[in-house]
Amino acid sequence: MQPTLLPQTQQLLFEVDGYTAEMCIEQESLETAFRLRYRAYLEADAIPPNSEEQFYDSFDSQQNARTFLIHFEGKPVASIRSLTWSADYNWAPTPSVNFFRAEIDQQLGANTPLLESNRFVVDPSFQGRKSLTAQMLLFRVQTLGSIADSCEHVITAVRPKHVRFYERFMNFHSISVPISVPEVSFPIQLLSTPVSSREKLSENSALASFTEADLTNYINCLQKVNA
């Protein structure tokens, strides 16, 4: 049984309606996110089982990577990861930059700062409107990251069947055809949206809107990671 790990104060981004968002700075929090990822990907038949019951990759240890958790009433229920592609991080790679470099260079610009959003997961047992709320809060987290790292666009690689959801809520548009990759068992397609699309996201869901206090908390956490 997975232990319950309460959000740690020094990692706190914001709290709303029983939900708490945190940047995973401590190893315990990271492992909680990796276990949550594992359960979600296993439920979707996207990865094979493993004895560790965690799902992570080499990108998780890079300086441009951030992992986040959403807790509901003390239980971790959702997680997401961001990787920033910019000169500030010495152009450290991201999965989508590796897979879709030609499309990114052609349509967004070779030296355009980007935030890649990936490893977007919700606990398989956490469903319904509460799950949708957690997802909107994850989008808020990625908006904070894109602003804090001065990114111009947010990119994400998703299953083709999920493209319309991203188009509807955040003004994403496709910049690639679906491709197969060895990391997961389903095809992925690259989407992009300008950071200014956060206004459309806020219109669709007030929960996705951030405050200046949220951004301050995010930057404070970022400084702890980079210390």
Cβ atoms 122, 77 nearer than 8 A:
yes
Secondary structure (3-state) at 189: strand
List all residues 6 or more positions away from 105 whose beta carbon is below 8 Å from its beta carbon.
Answer: none
Q: Which of 157, 160, 165, 173 is nearest to 205 (CA)?
A: 165
DSSP 5: -
Cα distance between residue 149 and residue 20, in whole Å: 22
Residue 180: burial class (beta carbons within 10 Å; 0-12, 13-18, 19+): exposed
Write down the pLDDT at residue 168: 83
pLDDT per position as a tens digit, 63-73: 999 999 999 99
Helices in the chain by DSSP H: which ranges?
Answer: 27-43, 95-107, 129-148, 163-170, 198-204, 212-226
Q: Which residue has the tokens 């450290």?
A: 92
pLDDT per position as a tens digit, 134-153: 999 999 999 999 999 999 99
Q: Which two tokens stand for residue 206?
A: 């007030």
Task: Give the pLDDT band of residue 2 (cuts 50, 70, 90).
Answer: very low
Question: Is 4's pLDDT higher than 90?
Answer: no
Q: Which domains does the chain have, with CATH numbers?
A: 9-226 (3.40.630.30)
Cα distance between residue 208 and residue 142, in whole Å: 10
Secondary structure (3-state) at 81: strand
Task: Give the pLDDT band of residue 58 (cuts 50, 70, 90).
Answer: very high
